[in-house]
Amino acid sequence: MMKEVIEIANNIKEMKIRGAAEIARAAAHALAIASMNIKTSSPDEFIEELKKVKNLLLSTRPTAVSLPNALMYIMHRVEIAYKKGMSTEELKEIAIKAAEDFKKNSMEAIKKISEIGAKRIRNGDIIMTHCNSSVVISILKEAKRQGKEFEVIATETRPRFQGRLTAKALAEAGIPVTLIIDSAARYFMPKVDKVIVGADAITANGAVVNKIGTSQIALAAHEARVRVFVGAETYKFSPSTILGELVEIEERPIEEVMPLEELPKGVKVANPAFDITPPEYIDIIITEKGIIPPQAAILILMEEFGWIIGEEIGIRKFVEEEEI
């Protein structure tokens, strides 16, 4: 398999490429690179090779549903063309174009979310965020661009400290930001006006899967009557949850929590990377299609993926009508 593709897969696994949106775009990019470089004139072999690359990318990180959704976006278009009997060259072109479209749509979706989300930020707001979401940062930067004055409290996000990245990005954008330890979230909550976080996956019932600790922050916000906003593109909604599948919560290496050599004998370490915030603790989800209550997640899934149950689940309905 191509060196460049393996490198992208490793970078996702090792979190050099991270955050659900960036993971999705990187995976789409990798599939395009792979398709350009598969050396065969047989469409059958081409599809087989592309599937191997897809599976490698799928194996990198399990939680962000944006990753399988991005791959499916491309594979589905290629498979329709394959079934129509197109040549390998044509299949390659379709894969490359689909990857470009996915990346472009992703950037446009984030821009739209930032425009919608920024409207909900008011002068004087104190906003808490967790982890490092490119969507949340875009919303905050857009609000700043519009001249709004507000402050952000960013949790450091142990064990990988993505909160430091958030704090740096906001400070560089001229947004006042205070970095706190994760366990100080409830201590600061009475001062907070709203919590804004990103998402790795949104389930059919409107639960939000995001960085571990999000649900605790949402709980503290609920207690203090602070609104919780989630910024998520529609490709972060999980079609397989309609069929009862659960979103897999990634368990990361224990060394992220404590160096192995310092670990006392008999001590176990658990390091789940994500948790699930039930819909009752979320006020709104800001998507590129507009603001929805979490309970309307199913409507987004229906519109995006249709009701095609079984192995076809997750296939965008409109593709069937498209001329490829």
- Sequence ranges of the binding site: 18-21, 61, 210-211, 236
Closer to ligand RUB by CB, 35 or 166: give it.
Answer: 166
Roughly what angle, to the nearest 10 degrees, separates helices 162-172 and 134-145? 20
C-alpha radius of gyration, the chain, whole number? 20
Closer to ligand RUB by CB, 77 or 160: give it.
Answer: 160
Tell me whether the omega of the peptide bond preceding residue 259 falls within 30 degrees of 0, making it cis.
no
Q: Which residue is nearest to ligand RUB (CB)?
A: 198
Q: How many CB atoms lie within 10 A of CB 5?
A: 22
Closer to ligand RUB by CB, 77 or 211: give it.
Answer: 211
Q: Which helix (H) or strand (E) holds 76?
A: helix 66-83
**Token code pair at residue 134:** 């490119």
Closer to ligand RUB by CB, 9 or 81: give it.
Answer: 9
In sequence order, what DSSP letters do the residues of 248-309 get, joined into one string? PPPB--GGGTS-GGGSPTT-----B-EEEE-GGG--EEEETTEEE-GGGHHHHHHHHHTT--
Residue set of the binding site for substrate: 18-21, 61, 210-211, 236
Q: Are 21 and 233 in contact (CB under 8 A)?
A: yes
Closer to ligand RUB by CB, 105 or 162: give it.
Answer: 162
Q: Nearest distance from residue 130's CB to ligand RUB, in Å? A: 7
Look at phi and psi of residue 150 and say left if phi exceeds 0, alpha if psi is from -120 to 50, else beta: beta
- Using alpha carbons, select from 54, 35, 43 the residue that is nearest to residue 92: 35
Provide the annotated active-site residues: 131, 200
**Is the alpha carbon torsion for 108, 114, 115, 117 positive or negative?**
positive
The residue ranges that bind ligand RUB (CB under 6 A) are 18-22, 64, 131, 133-135, 162, 198-200, 210-211, 273
Percent helix, strand, coil in the chain, to 5, is 55, 15, 35
Burial (CB count within 10 angstroms: exposed 0-12, middle 13-18, buried 19+), residue 249: middle
